[in-house]
Each structure stands twice: as C-alpha cells, then as structure tokens.
Amino acid sequence: MAEKKWTMMVVPETHWDREWYLTFQQFRHKLVALGDNLLHIMETDPRYEYYVFDGQTVVLEDYLQIRPQNRGRLADLVKAERLFVGPWYVLPDEFLVSGEALVHNILLGHKIAAEFGRVMKAGYVPDPFGHVSQLPQILAGFGLDSALFMRGVGNELDDLSNEFWWEAPDGSRVLGIHLINSYCNGANLGQERWAGPVSAHQPVDMDMALQRFEEERSSLSQKAATSYLLLNNGCDHLEPQPELPDIIEYANARIESMEIVHSHYEAYVEAVLSEVGELGTVRGELHSGKYWPLLSGVYSARMHLKQANERCQTLLEKWAEPFCALAWLTGASYEQSFLWEAWRQLLRNHPHDSICGCSSDQVHREMMPRFWQAQQIGETLLESATQHLAGMAQVEAPETAEGCVCARQVVVFNPSNWRRSEPAVVHLSGAVASDSVPLNVVVRDASGTVLPSQIVHQDVRECRWFANAAIPEDKLAWQAQVLLPAEVPPLGFAAYSVVTEAAAQACPETDIAAGSNWIENQYVRVAVQPNGTLQVTEKASGRVYDGCHLFEDTEDVGDEYDYSHAANSMTITSAGTAARISLVERGPLQATLQADLVLQLPKSASEDRRSRSEQAVACAVTTRVSICASSPRISVETTVDNQARDHRLRVWFPTGLNVAHCYAAGHFDVIRRSLDLPDAEGWCQQPQPTKAMQGFVDVNDGEHGLALCAVGLPEYEVLRTNGGAVIALTLLRSVGWLSRGDLITRPGNAGPKLPTPEAQCLGQHTFRYALVPHQGGWLRAQMWQHAAAEKAPLRAVATDLSGSGAHTRLSFLQVEPTELVVTCVKKAEREEALTVRCYNISEHPISGRVSAYRPIERAELLNLNEEPTEELSVSGGGDVELADVPGRRILTLALYFGES
C-alpha cells in the first residue's frame, strides 16, 4: 500500500461560552450534562483517547461546584494525558482587558490545571475578536510555543501558509496556526454541520463523515506547510461525539490519501514543528476580518461594563496587589487567597461574550455583582495595607489654634515607578458646634512649610450613629474634600500635616489663573467657546488647537457586535448649540470650567431602520474641564443624560496635523497604526476605522502632538480631514439587538437575533478623559505617565498626628529609568520573594536598575509563570542592574530580602 500523503489529526473539543444568549446558570446546566457524558464516554471506551476542554479551567470549577464528587475522576484523566485543560482560566477578549489581566488569567489557569495534574501547553485562543501584538511574548513567557486561533487575519497570510511564525514586538515568537475553516470544521461528523448537540441523538451517516474529511483535506491542504491537517471535532456548547472512534476506523479503511488519527493540540503542534521547513513571519497585532468577521463594534457596546472593568483592573493592578505586597515586606500578612478571589471575580467577566457586551440583558446584569465583589475585596485589602504602611510615616505636629476642628497627618501614596507631583484629594472630618462651614485648611510639608491647598467641597450635617463614632452626639459632623500639592517618590509615600483654622490665611500662589470662560497655567490655556467647544493653546510653542470637544452623534442601526450607519445617514453635532459656561473652581491647585448644553437628538432609528426618526428628545450634557497647577494635562469629565436610542455619541478633537499614522497604547506596547484602511477586496468583513486603545492615543508629526488619555473608554478613531487629523473618542453606543443580519458594515448575523433593550444605555452616564498637547513624539512627552495619572490618581490616607513612624517620605521600590514601566508588584506565588514585572516601553534597548528601601540580597529572572530562568547579579549596595533590555521586552523579577 502506498504511503498516505496527509495525516488529519482530529481533536474532539467544545467551545464553552460561559454565558451568552443564555445566562451562566442556564449554560452550566448544559455543562454538567456534557461533563457527565464525557466522563462516561472516556471511562467506558478506551478508544476515545483525548478530549480538549476549550483551553479553559473555569469550566472545571463550574462543573465541580455541582458535581464535587467527580473531581478525582477528572484529575485521573488529566494526569493520564487524555483530558486537556488550561492554559487559560477563561478565554478572554484580548483588546478590552489589560496586559496584566491576560498574564493573571494564564497564571491562574496554570495554577488550577496543575492542581489537576497537568497544564495543556498549547496556546489555544480559538475565538477572541482579534489578537494583541504582545500575545506571542505572553504565550512564550508561559512556555507555550503556539497560538491556534480563528479571527484576526487580513492580508498578512496572502503569500504564507496557515502555519507561520508569529512575532511579538520584542522578537519573541510562537508558531501561529490559523484555523482558516474555524474551530468547528469537524463538528457533528456524519451529520449536518450545525445539527446541534449530539445528545439530541441524531443518527451518524458514515459516508457523510467521509465526505467531510475529503472536503477539509482538499481545502486545508492548499495552504498547509506540512502534511499534517487539523480537524476540530466540536463547536459552541457541543457535547463529545461518542461515535468518533468508529468514524475514524471507518474512514481509515476507505480513504487512501490520508491517515486520520484521534489527537490533541499539543500533538498537532509537535507534528507540525517536526516537519516544517522555512516559514514566513507575521509581526504584531492581528486585527482584520478577511476570513471571519472581526466584530470590533464590541469596543463600545455597553460602555459602562468597560468603565467598571477599568476601575477593577486599576484597583487590583495599581493598588491592592502592589501595596499588599509592600505591606508584606514590612511585616504585614499577605492575603493571597483574597487577592486571587478578587481576580477570579474580575476574570469571570473577561470572556468575549461578557466584557464585549454582546450577550443578553440578563447576562450583563449579572456581571455587575462580580465587578462589585472584586472592588469590595480590593478596597478592603488596600485600606488595610495603606493603614499599615502609613504607620511608618511621621510629620511634626503643628501648633493648632483654639477651635481647631481637624488636625491630621495625611499620607499620600504613589502607585507608579516614577516621582509624581500632582494634587491629591484627602477626605477630612471633625466635630463642630454649629452649622457654620467656612473653615480654612492649612497644609504643611514635613519641613513645616505652608503649601497651597484647596477645599473642593465641605459641609456640616447631623451625625448619624453609623457615620463617625468619634463625633459626640451633641455636635455636628464637618466633612470636606481637600486638595493638597503632593510630591511622592516612586512606589512610596509622602506625609503632610493638615489643620483647620477659623480665620483664613494667605495661600501660597501657584501658576493657576482663571476667568469667566478661560483657565490657564504655565503650560496651557483653555477657553470655552459659546458652543461649548474648547480652544487649547500650548504655551511653549504657541500652537492653538481649536474646536476641541465637539460632540458628534450618528445613528447606529447595528447590533452589539458592530456599529452600522443607515442607508440615509444623519450626523448631528454640537457646533450650533449654545452652552451655558461657568467657572466653578479658580484654584490655587485646580481650576475648572463647566459647560452645560442640550443635544436635540432623534428619538430612535426609523421603523424601517433606513434613517432616523423625526421626533427629537433632549439629552442634557454637562462637561467639566479642569487643569491643575504645573501640569499640561487637561482633564475632562462629561455627564450625558441619554434619552435617545439607536445612535453613537462621540467627541472630536481636531489636531491640525497632517499625518499618516497615530500611536495607541496597547498591551505592554505602543502601536503605530496607519490611518489608511487596507485593501479589502473580497474580505468577509470590511475594515472598520475604529480601533481599541489601552490608555491613550497620540497624533504627532515629530514636532507637535496632541494626545487623548481615556479611562475605561477603549474605542477611538483618527479621521483624516482637510484640516488635518481628528481624534474621535466614542462615549456611548446605543443599540437594541444582540445580533441582526441587515447591517451595512457586516454580512449576516454574528449571534442569535435577540432584542436587548438595555443595550440602548438610557439614562445618565459619566465619562473621564484628558487632553495633552505636547512637543515631539509620545515618548518624549512621556505620555504613558499622563495616562497613568489620569487612570490611577494619587491616594491619600488621613491618620493621627501622634503616630510613631520614622519617615516623612519613603520609596519602597525603584525601577529606573521610567521607560521601564512597572505593571505588577506582588508577592511571589511559590516563594518568599517580591515579584516585580516591568517592560521597556521604548523601541530601543535600554539599561536600568532595580533597588528598594532595604538591600536586595538575591534576584532571579522569571518567566511569566514565575519559574526562575536566570540568576541576576546584585551589587554590594543591594541593587539589581538590568543591561540592554530589548525594546518592548517584558521582564519579571523575583527579589529576595533578608530579615528586616
């Protein structure tokens, strides 16, 4: 018999969307039936050798919560290398979560899979809506040598095979495997391809299975780099086919051109690597819809979910985890289990049908309690950690005048690895005898120098029994929010004293000035025009950015997956709107203008969805524009009372710059993106101009630039106009359907056609973002620092002035230079060490140094799974030198300290 030319490796699997058009509990009922059936098949038929549980481990938790007695049975199959679990905890959308969330996701997946005996070492990412540029480096950092995926390919593979080297910005690479015929190309063998669950007992037609094998061989072999072809025997929520061994035996006896084997992804990757010769290389993100719809409208569906996710990620990554670790270094206990519970709650919201906002209304209602629980845990742990660390601080208690209502030490914390000099908000309270509120607050630094301060808000109210036990029942409670000018060292604190006085004192001057419709400092001047738009002047160059913050509203007759304009499109702007302008803060630390206007918007799309309705509704908009002393950043808070349906609301920022590219913060990366859309003839879905960012987007010509930093608002577009590039930030997208098949921007449905009235996002929404005019490029302007300050403002803790600490300011950890951006500080998973992760945000190699408030005794370089790869030298002074860190390289370190 002639040797068979092809080997088709059949991998039985299921793609398990934890929640989607059904709720988690409804899908879990099906999951438990699948798990029970799978155990029966694999334990009673040794010919059914392998099964892959979708690359996730959360399904094990979900199943075992109902069937705890089956844990040992599952573990036996995992240890026997028959059931493959991990490497992920959940299969996430990549663009809508942070880089650290991706790392923590795989780290948790590895932890859980290891508890069952083994982790699947294949980078299985079948269905996320595109893939980020650093995914190869992240996968490789966990010892995963491959990425098997379906969506995201554009013209990159036109001259390449479906197997290729996929390279990250730092040069790391994995074997990319494009599932060009989907992760479902072998579903329901011997049945109609989309026949539904096998449990429905559809009969198997062996000859129909033969035909499927031949069709897939003919298709896949056209772009195969080796003689190995992959057939995925499964799809969304499909149960295993018990007849698979019989189908394979039947086919092998009748097909002469190929051998068919029951296999798994690790074996397939190993087979391809053993045979492959020269392969082409693809670099960077995969974000196109040539073969499969990309569904990028999810970046703005149900924006409140993106904002809640940003809050939780920031809390865990920048505050709770690092400051719990720093407190542990100084003798506090480290609540690792609590931190992982917070991460679990957050990560369960990261699957693409969840964080993307493309599920039923009930599914998205149930996401919010997970966000709340993650936030509750994070805030509780952070309060404990900062109170512990604040005990190390001490400033000299100032003299207090008679009648002083409040005298406190304020300890301000900085989560960044660079010195931050900016106002911090502290909440103060005290007891007063009357309802008189005009109290003066005096802030002093550690040397006793009086600093400028600003009362943002204060009031006096009756004290409730649960509000403040320190206030006597015969007194009233005075409460205030006060701004103080903090200067805090990297990953550390600075201490100040705050006392109240009845008589006002002269406040030190700053560079803030303000008028009825303008505010300025030494860097920028902002004037609000009659229609509410902003005229921004960068003082160093004299460059003026006019017409900023123009509202643009267009109909959206799309669905949760994709924006779509109507056949008869109508765009409305705020250009002709009259705004009511007021100065609400005049300094000395912060000046704020407020612009109130009303947008008259069509009530909805027309009944035939080809235009907008003639009936209008009023949508009130309030925008507060603030600048702080000695900062070029212009912070904006916009509140919209959305009463309109079927529309997309954006805000425009004209740059006046004629450029071909913009720069967007990504995952351990800053991505240079062309403003031109690719040639897309014959694509499944035409390219969309909206993109995702992680913190900022910058437009510059090398000499001048304008950047936009956004908090929980991931979708932007940079438009080319006759006047230059315009940054458009999406605030809100209102739609009423999970999926529809009549979009102009996408062919066919992307999911069930279900109404989702809550995706219209009616009601009040508040959005935060900032504008930064600058000279040079984003790197020279250190734009990541502005984005970090906007996302994670300094935090202040008020403590007693009678403490026994020894430090007026203290930096616990320093990673220099600032281009080595710290993204993670935590206690190591398996060692008594501090884990620190950073990456080189620049494109060029740089050398750096890591030091701490006490000498480092030993240091190791780790992979992302926190396994040691290299011993690092430590200087006599207890510092770690980092030599020639490649551009965009992620480094994870373990730092060991002696007894304190």
How many helices (H) and strands (E) the chain has is answered by 13, 46
Q: If you count them, how many residues does the chain have? A: 900
For residue 224, pLDDT beyond 80: yes
For residue 198, what pLDDT is reported?
45
For residue 583, pLDDT beyond 80: yes
Helical H runs in 45-96?
58-66, 71-79
* Of 895 and 500, more confident: 895
pLDDT digits (tens, 9 = 90+) for 87-126: 999 999 999 999 999 999 999 999 999 999 999 999 999 9
- Cα–Cα distance, 725 to 94 (Å, whole number): 27
For residue 730, pLDDT beyond 50: yes
Average pLDDT rounded to a whole number, residues 533-558: 98
Confidence category of residue 197, pLDDT binned at 50, 70, 90: low
For residue 185, pLDDT beyond 70: yes
Average pLDDT rounded to a whole number, residues 253-263: 95
The DSSP secondary structure of 495-526, one letter per residue, reads EEEEEEESS--PPPP-S-EE-SSEEE-SSEEE
pLDDT digits (tens, 9 = 90+) for 134-147: 999 999 999 999 99
For residue 620, pLDDT beyond 60: yes
Instruction: State the virtual CA torsion across 172, 178, 184, 187 in degrees, nearest 10.
Output: -100
Q: Which single residue is written with the structure tokens 């026994």? A: 804
Quote the mean pLDDT of the chain. Answer: 95
In 722-866, DSSP assigns E strands to: 724-734, 763-775, 795-799, 809-811, 813-816, 820-827, 834-840, 846-852, 856-862
Tokens of 305: 């979910």
pTM given for the model? 0.97
For residue 199, what pLDDT is reported?
45
Q: Give the three-state DSSP class for 863.
A: coil
Share of the chain above pLDDT 70, in %: 97
In 433-475, DSSP assigns E strands to: 440-444, 450-451, 454-462
For residue 1, pLDDT beyond 70: no
Q: Are strands 880-885 and 846-852 parallel, antiparallel or unpaired?
A: antiparallel
For residue 454, what pLDDT is reported?
95
For residue 435, what pLDDT is reported?
67
For residue 708, what pLDDT is reported?
98
- Cα–Cα distance, 335 to 384 (Å, whole number): 11
Confidence category of residue 478, pLDDT binned at 50, 70, 90: confident
For residue 437, pLDDT beyond 90: no
Tokens of 635: 């912070």
Q: Are strands 670-674 and 580-586 parallel, antiparallel or unpaired?
A: unpaired
Q: Which of 633, 657, 651 is nearest to 536 (CA)?
A: 633
Q: Which of 286, 282, 358 is nearest to 687 (CA)?
A: 286
- Cα–Cα distance, 662 to 20 (Å, whole number): 34
Confidence category of residue 2, pLDDT binned at 50, 70, 90: low
pLDDT digits (tens, 9 = 90+) for 861-876: 999 999 999 999 999 8
Average pLDDT rounded to a whole number, residues 340-364: 98
pLDDT digits (tens, 9 = 90+) for 156-165: 999 999 999 9
Average pLDDT rounded to a whole number, residues 226-234: 97
CB atoms within 10 A of CB 488: 26
For residue 593, pLDDT beyond 50: yes
Weakest mean pLDDT among 169-173, 269-273, 459-463, 881-885: 459-463
Average pLDDT rounded to a whole number, residues 574-585: 97
For residue 397, what pLDDT is reported?
86
- Cα–Cα distance, 549 to 795 (Å, whole number): 29
Q: Which of 797, 804, 852, 789 is nearest to 495 (CA)?
A: 797
Residue type at position 378: G
For residue 201, pLDDT beyond 70: no
Tokens of 57: 């481990």
